[in-house]
Structure 1
Amino acid sequence: MLGDFWADKIPGKSIDSIRFNIEQSISNTAYIHYLTLFFYKLGYCARPLPTLVEKSDIKIENRFNYRLTLFTFTSFIWIYDSYYKTVNGITKKSVPFFISDYLSPIGLAHWIMQDGSFQKGQGINIATNCFTYDECLFLARILTTKYNLKTSVIKTGIPNQWRISIWKESMPLLREIVKSYFIPEMEYKLGYFY
């Protein structure tokens, strides 16, 4: 949920249920296919292949993404309530206070595969644009205290949007932590092909 997943609350007669979704661009085909097959084998989605969806985009005609939609579950309400806060009628994704308990090496690998971008000669930036500065700072501190990674929170160039930078000096350690959870097609996000 720190990355590209989002959740929908589905109203029910007696209790609501939650459905998780993720979309990836055609350039990340290998990753979304891997993820779909993973969840299919666990029984969380109906098909072993993601759905191709057309995106309406003014700049690019005939733009397509792949979408994975999981089954709805009432047992996922606690996850939705932990990640989404409604203020003044606007529901927004937020970082739960207990995220450190769940930010395992495999979780970190998937977060980077979804939202990481290798910066040649630097390190990795993780797109955290939807989170507040304080939430980004909180996440950066977790990466530092839990994994000993040197991090900083930097501006994206858009007002009130931030990203987390994992420094070049920490790249060997980061690779060691997440490499076994990366699919080969996404290793470029760790700088392996530069």
Structure 2
Amino acid sequence: MTMINNKTNNNLPQELHSILIGIMLSDGGLYRSSPTANVRFEMSFGEKYQSLAFHIGYLFKDYMSNPVKSIEVKGKNKVYSNYRLKTKTLPLFNSYYEMFYKYQTEPTNKYVKVVPDNIIDLMDPIVLAYLIQGDGNYDKTRNRVRIYTNSYQKQEVEKLALAINTKLNIYTAVLHDRKDQWILTIGAKNLKVLRENVIPYFHPTMLYRIGI
């Protein structure tokens, strides 16, 4: 995987900055115990994503007290292994929390995860690569990649599509999935340019999500 070592003002190396943005757009979480507390980054992986879990754990090892660990989860008829990543609680994650979480009075009365307002400035091939590794799916019958952005509002999904279109020149459509849920699709005509952009930042075990 390609490595980028430039520093950013937020004290994460540029590559980790983009990786964290991509992960947060998909399945990552940031946690703050109170409005004035510092923030930690956490993520949980299913048992078939062990390799990806340890890869991301390695990338964030300088910010963790303990390595990624396996947790047994009891299902109805089976015991599953999940993998949990948890960083230290650090000031450098605070700006990411403020970027990704907004207080919603109705109907939740709590902080909810959103697509950052400045996503067009944040978008790059690394962000897209980690978003697809988290929420992507290759649709063999239509030869397209779908990105399951169901948890976001339609206007947020549209904002994310615009960022990919504008910054990476990859046409990305917004598609109604079900109820009030919307996903992104990248069609066959754009798969070549998509793969050229993201393959350098993909873990080998996840290439199937772009049809490789």
TM-score of the pair, normalised by structure 2: 0.81
1:92 aligned partner: 112
2:157 — aligned with what?
A: 136
Note the C-alpha offset of 1:46: 2.1
Q: In structure 1, list runs of 5 or more residues that go unmatched.
A: none
Deviation, 1:56, is: 5.4
Tell me the distance in 2 between the aligned counterparts of 1:103 and 1:35.
Answer: 19
Q: Distance in 2 between matches of 1:99 and 1:54?
A: 36
CA change 1:64–1:161 in 2 (3 A) is farther
Q: Which residue, 27, 45, 52 being the options, matches 2:70?
A: 52
- In the alignment, residue 211 of structure 2 is paired with which amino acid? G
Structure 1 position 173 matched with structure 2 position 172: no
Q: Deviations over 1:139-187 (max 9, x none)?
A: 0111111111122112232x22211111111100000001111121111
Which aligned runs of 4 or more in structure 1 are off by greater than 6 angstroms?
Answer: none
Q: Aligned-residue CA RMSD in angstroms?
A: 1.7
1:45–1:69 Cα contact (<8 Å) kept: yes
Measure the CA separation in 2 of the matches of 1:132 and 1:145: 20
Quote the residue 2:19 is aligned against. Answer: none
- Cα deviation for residue 133 of structure 1 reads 0.5
> Partner amino acid for 1:101?
D
- Tell me what 1:23 maps to: 44
CA distance in 2, matches of 1:70, 1:127: 26
1:66 aligns with 2:72: no
**Which aligned pairs between 1:144-163 and structure 2 lie closer than 5 A?**
144-157=165-178, 159-163=179-183
Tell me if the contact between 1:84 and 1:92 (Cα under 8 Å) persists in the aligned partners: yes
User: 1:9·1:17 contact (CA, 8 Å) conserved in 2?
Assistant: yes
Q: Tell me the equivalent position of 1:80.
A: 97
Q: Which residue of 2 aligns with 1:4?
A: 27
Distance of 2:48 and 2:93 partners within structure 1: 30
* Deviation digits for residues 100-137 of structure 1 (CA, Å, limit 9, x no counterpart): 22222112111111111111132111111111001001
Give the conservation status (yes or no) of the 8 Å contact 1:10–1:19: no
Q: State which of 147, 155, 161 in structure 2 corresponds to 1:126.
A: 147
Change (3 A) 1:133 1:56: farther
| 2: CA distance, partners of 1:68 / 1:5 | 10
Structure 1 residues 69, 168: closer, same or farther in 2, change over 3 A? same
- Percent identity between the two aligned chains: 30
Q: TM-score, normalised by structure 1?
A: 0.88
Cα deviation for residue 93 of structure 1 reads 0.5
Q: Does 1:114 align with 2:131?
A: no
Q: How many residues are treated as equivalent by the alignment?
A: 185
